[in-house]
Amino acid sequence: MTEEVVEAALGDLDEADLPSRTVAALRLADELTEHRPLVDDDLIAVLRSEFDDDEILELAVALTVASGWQRFIEAFGIRPDRWNEGTVLPW
């Protein structure tokens, strides 16, 4: 991914110059990482306009595993081996 694509993905998705399929996936990622995620009918409609049911399931599982792993390492204060003991955690 280019820096421009990353910036677009982190910005306003309504204004992002990204493929609609990418925007739909990013909307799901945003929702699944909320404190209390809720995939409502509107988001389901957006997802189904870009993906079939198997793709939605696969995408949701991948996002959930990644998000859950991140929460796990934050909760337990796990630091990558390349960090030194004195390094301040990024969160």
**pTM for this predicted structure:** 0.78
Sequence spans of domains, the chain: 3-75
Q: Is the pLDDT of residue 56 over 90?
A: yes
Q: What is the mean pLDDT of the chain?
A: 89
- The answer to whether residues 43 and 31 touch, using CB atoms and an 8 Å cutoff, is yes
Mean pLDDT to the nearest integer, 47-76: 94
How is the chain split among helix, strand and coil, in percent rounded to 5? 60, 0, 40
Mean pLDDT to the nearest integer, 20-24: 96
